[in-house]
Structure 1
Amino acid sequence: MVQIGYTMMTEQAGPRDLVEHVAGAERAGFDFSVTSDHYSPWLGAQGHAPYAWSVLGAAAQATERIPLMTYETCPTTRYHPAVVAQKAATMQLLSGGRFRLGLGSGENLNEHVVGGGWPTAAVRLEKLEEAVRIIRALLAGEELDHGGPHFEARGARLWDLPDEPPPLGVAVSGEQSCAIAGRLADLVIATEPKSELLAAFDRHGGAGKPRVGQLPVCYDTDRDAAVARAHDQFRWFGSGWKVNAELPGTAGFAGATRFVRPEDVAASVPCGDDVEAFVDAVRPYAEAGFDEIALIQIGGDQQGPFLDWAEKALLPALRDAL
Structure 2
Amino acid sequence: MVRIGYTMMTEQAGPRELVDHVVRAEEAGFDFSVTSDHYFPWLRSQGHAPYAWAVLGAAAQATSRIPLMTYVTCPTVRYHPVVVAQKAATLQLLAEGRFRLGLGSGENLNEHVTGGGWPAVDVRHEMLEEAVDIIHALFEGGHVTHHGTYFDVESARLWDLPEKTPPIGIAVSGEQSCTLAGHLGDLVIATEPKKELLDAFDRHGGAGKPRVGQLPVSYGPDREAATDRAHDQFRWFGLGWKVNSELPHPDSFASATRFVTREDVAASIPCGDDPEAFVEAVRPYVDAGFTEVALVQIGGETQPDFIDWSRKTLLSALREAFD
Report the counterpart of residue 233 of structure 1 in structure 2: 233
Q: Distance in 1 between matches of 2:188 and 2:70?
A: 12
In structure 1, what is the equivalent of residue 249 of structure 2? 249
Which residue type is aligned with residue 187 of structure 2? L
Shift of 1:183: 0.2
- Secondary structure of residue in 1 paired with 2:213: strand
Distance in 1 (CA, whole Å) between partners of 2:92 and 2:258 is 41
What is aligned with 1:167?
A: 167
Using structure 2 for the length normalisation, give the TM-score: 0.99
Q: TM-score, normalised by structure 1?
A: 1.00
Query: What letter corresponds to residue 9 of structure 1 in structure 2?
Result: M
Q: Which residue identity is paired with 2:110?
A: N
1:269-280 alignment runs, 5 A limit: 269-280=269-280
State yes or no: 1:306 paired with 2:306: yes
Aligned amino acid, residue 237 of structure 2: F
Cα distance in 2 for partners of 1:212, 1:63 equals: 21
Aligned twin of 1:183: 183
Aligned to 2:150: 150
Q: 1:122 aligned to 2:119? A: no
Q: How far apart are the structure 2 equivalents of 1:286 and 1:110? A: 30
In structure 2, how many angstroms separate the alpha carbons of the residues matched to 1:130 and 1:106? Answer: 14
User: The residue matched to 2:226 in structure 1 has which SS?
Assistant: helix
1:86 aligns with 86
Q: Deviations over 1:79-121 (max 9, x none)?
A: 0000000000000000000000000000000000001110000
- Cα deviation for residue 127 of structure 1 reads 0.2
2:61 matched residue in structure 1: 61
For residues 96 and 60 of structure 1, the distance between their equivalents in structure 2, rounded to whole angstroms, comes to 8
User: Matches of 2:124 and 2:115 in 1, distance apart?
Assistant: 15
1:113 aligns with 2:113: yes
C-alpha displacement of 1:164: 1.2
Aligned to 2:98: 98
Q: Secondary structure at the match of 1:41?
A: coil
Residue in structure 2 matched with residue 216 of structure 1 by the alignment: 216
Q: For the residues of structure 1 that align with 2:210 and 2:137, how far apart are their CA atoms?
A: 21
Aligned to 2:284: 284
Distance 1:116 1:53 in 2: 22
Aligned to 1:16: 16
Deviations along 1:249-279, whole A, 9 cap, x unmatched? 0110000000000110000000000110000
1:302 maps to a residue whose letter is T
Offset at 1:142?
3.5
Moved over 2 A (4+): none
Paired with 2:140 and 2:313, the residues of 1 have a C-alpha distance of 42
Aligned length: 322
Counterpart-to-counterpart distance in 1, 2:276 and 2:85: 41
Cα distance, 1:131 vs structure 2 = 0.3
Any stretches of 5+ residues in structure 1 without a counterpart? none
Report the equivalent of 2:33: 33
Unaligned segments of structure 2, at least 5 residues: none
Separation in 2 of the partners of 1:227 and 1:282? 18
Matches of 1:254 and 1:265, distance apart in 2: 14
Question: Which whole-Å CA distance do the structure 1 matches of 2:178 and 2:144 have between them?
Answer: 26
The CA deviation string for residues 58-86 of structure 1, in whole angstroms up to 9 with x for no partner, is 00000010000000000000000000000
